[in-house]
Chains A and B, each alone.
Chain A
């Protein structure tokens, strides 16, 4: 082998771990909030524990409250102890990580705060060798995003362009805007400071193992693809149910609602993954291209059509797991006459060759009987011959269920003959459970996503056009609701599967909601 510079690291051959990223500093805006404490830093610790972080990795927490570096580190350590999947944590690993954690106190609008941040980052570059590589994480309230982004630009803390020696990125938590206009505005503000390849819009559902498995199931198996179209599929149901109420988020939620909070992002992502065409490659842009095509093919719901294609509800008093709970309007920081929806059911159609005529029923709500997320592909009914000829005992259509959480896995409902002298057919379930087959503890979604941001892999993040397409669909629905004769959301008892109107909504099509 000739001597000279290696273009690839020969020692990495055969190692299953991913490339360790270049040294960098992660600046978290809103670092004293719940997200940092419960999710971000425990995920970073997990990555460090598995050797997935560079040695020179620093964290700067940017927030308003007064705190020293040591106090901040101690608080974060508590969060790691409680929320890391490695318990007990390894003192050596934490100590090495904590040495790179700093706290920077400032208001988000204070110019002096950004100047001093710049100086701190330069100091960290010198002591830690982070070489100007920066990740800016917007974990603050969405109302602060614009200030922060503009200040980063104004204080020259960001370098843009692909050919730079440094890599600098920004991570934006959901919600990404509250409408098409505000999403476009936020995109515009971002584009003023960052290039698109530097912008990572998080939807943490995409970091879930089972959501990633949707693509694996579809495109790593020969048997599904021939059936994955309108010739064989009757309809698709996507359900994301929560048993919790708004808890302490009433103030934010009352201005948002279920459609903005969950449907615009998580449910639309699930729909895109189920409905997309096979991508040209597993590169980020090829996958995102296919997802955008799905969103573009969704037949828009005109404002005048909202009653035909949507149902919205709001939870009333009831009980969850045997315990009484209050109604949405009685929750803290929720207006007593609030018209915010906590439940949405939608029927969408995709105007493309693969899915023409197949309804996609989406359902999400709070205070439903249990926490569950699943995608159910219901196949068409058999022709009324042979085993299905007996109309008194109809043969159940096949259903393929992708369980996102809990009890992650895949199930297929099929029909089998009941042992005995008669030809009786009964549905049976073929079940694959992640927990039963792969007992490994899956990494937390944020671990995967944070590592991807650090190495610059945008596959699991939403693109500008994806976000705006999704909002254009939601905007029409929101406009329709606001114009809809002043009708408030329909009340449903907490602990039930939503309002009766949601059942009628699907039953008028000759179908029924699944009971997950």
Chain B
């Protein structure tokens, strides 16, 4: 029930965005929303995210979404990883984090694994991480398109799987998040 209300609400917002948009047609939203139980959490989260330099805004919910979700926070979807980290640090868990585009979308959950003999590569969504099987050293990071990808590659390549900082602690974008998934899959396959 709540899920349906959230869906309906977000679709209304998307509709409003399209009306305001001067550019043509099928623009997709690059925003996500954070849904919390209580207004106090929304205010605290807004403050934390703004302090971190993330462009967020609080939206008033429609009357039919007054079952515990009194406010939502709109945020740039690409910054989801950073947003999650900030809220996690503050022990401020949103009820839901959803892309505005289509609330039925789910993050990628399929991994593609390729064995090169001495090396093992795991791909999650658009990100790939490759390790040397003999010493579990990360030898390459590839794929992706957000600017933290080359930075993550520079930081992670050469370190061993069990010693490196999790990509989510360094990344800021959905590409960074995808790399985190590839890293977790490698950890699962190579428990050390």
Are chains A and B native binding partners rather than an unrelated pairing?
Answer: no
List the interface of chain B (C-beta within 8 A of A): none
